[in-house]
Amino acid sequence: MPDIRPGQERFVAPIDETPLRAIDAVNVDAVPENQWKEAWKRLRTSPLFWLATAILVVIALMIFFPSLFTSADPERASLDNSFGPASDGHPFGFTQQGADVWARTVHGARASVTIGLLTTILTALLGMITGAIAGYYGGLMDTLISRFSDIFFSIPLLLACIVVISVLNNTFPNRGFWGSVMVVVLALATFAWPQITRQMRGAVLEIKNLEFVDAATAIGASKMKNLRRHIVPNALAPVIVASTISLGVFIVAESSLSFLGLGLPSNVVSWGNDISAAQNQVRSGQNLDVMFVPAAALAFTVLGFILLGEAVREALDPKARKK
């Protein structure tokens, strides 16, 4: 042993004072958790998730229980109250027609959010089916679906919806509330599904070559069973993230179409219609509360869905969170 110089002495504790501990012990009897349970654990610790949840809970209460926020009738209007100031029970005053601004904002959540949800569901279903088939079977099927989706993907969403809705408005002028909602939903979903198709196709291409798929094939699983039970459930993560964020985009698209007078009929209470009706006040610079209140509700709703999509993305993709 070489001589130890002063200041280089090292102290080693006796083994009986530092017993070994099973710090890295693994419970082999524990049931393994799937990716959804692990994602939920990460979501519960995400401030973005709880902030988005708080915003969306308020919007949900507006849709299902509007009487909690206002007792005024959104369709009742009197010209005597035109641009009337805020008063008891009417915190944001009245519109040009004399309708309560806050009541119309609360009740307008129903139409705008309903269109966003239905469009998201229909778009996700179309994109999942086409993307899963293209990615799993490949070959000619993949080529046809990919090129067909590229055609729709190259068309601007808002411009295409304007053309489709204009044609349907002339063909079916009297279609009621749900008929008007479904026209907007079909127009948006018809040109929005290629994005989900690309997400699903890429995820399926990555998953179909993994070991557990080969193991299922080895024990006799058919192609359709593999696709339905093993590949699609494990490829849903990017689709869920993209759909959550797209929901806010569809709500904005509906408001934009209604603002242009091509979305929901003017007699339907929605945020887009109220913003459209207030555009004269924007030009004059007076009574801007008529526009700011529904616009703020629209902005907070879209923000809630974007925050929720970001939180879900981080929970389902830990690599993105580490970056």
d(CA 69, CA 92): 13
The angle at the Cα of 45, spanning 41 to 51, to the nearest 5 degrees, equals 120
The CATH number given to 58-74+93-322 is 1.10.3720.10
Cβ atoms 295, 289 nearer than 8 A:
no
Average pLDDT for 273-299: 83
In single-letter form, the type of residue at position 136 comes to: Y
Determine the Cα angle at 257 with ends 264 and 48, to 5°: 100
Token representation of residue 165: 């809705």
pLDDT in tens, 100-145: 999 999 999 998 899 999 999 999 999 999 999 999 888 899 999 9
Question: Is a pLDDT exceeding 70 seen at residue 44?
Answer: yes
Q: What are the b/e assignments for 246-274, b being 16+ CB within 10 Å?
A: bbbbbbbbbbbbbbeebbbbeebbbbbbb
State pLDDT tens for residues 5-24.
666 666 666 666 666 565 55
- H or E stretch including 211? helix 211-218
Do 201 and 129 touch, CB atoms closer than 8 A? no
Domain range annotation of the chain: 58-74+93-322
**278 touches 95 (CB < 8 A):** yes
Q: Which of 37-46, 108-117, 290-299 has the lowest mean pLDDT?
A: 37-46
Rounded Cα–Cα distance for residues 253 and 246 (Å): 10
Residues 209-249: tens digit of each pLDDT: 888 888 888 888 787 888 888 888 888 888 888 898 889 88
